[in-house]
């Protein structure tokens, strides 16, 4: 009976180790996704600024 319990503990330890590794990888992917999202937001802001500048130039040239 004790061999069975030891095997169960070893299996549980293996599962915990695997889940820890999966969790680390998911956290890394999340960090990468957030970095990409932040870059996208910066690019979007830049595009909006360019569009506003373009509109301002059009207004100024028609005066």
pLDDT lower than 70: segments of the chain: 1
Torsion 43-45-48-54 (CA) sign: negative
Residue 63 pLDDT:
72
Distance CA 34, CA 42 (A): 12
Residue matched to tokens 């996704």: 33
DSSP state, residue 11: H
Please state whether the predicted TM-score (pTM) of the whole model is above 0.95. no
């Amino acid at each position: 009976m004790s061999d069975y319990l030891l095997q169960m503990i070893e299996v549980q330890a293996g599962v915990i180790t695997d889940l820890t590794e999966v969790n680390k990888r998911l956290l890394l992917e999340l960090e990468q996704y957030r970095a990409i999202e932040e870059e996208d937001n910066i690019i979007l802001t830049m595009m909006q600024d360019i569009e506003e500048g373009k509109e301002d130039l059009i207004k100024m040239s028609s005066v």
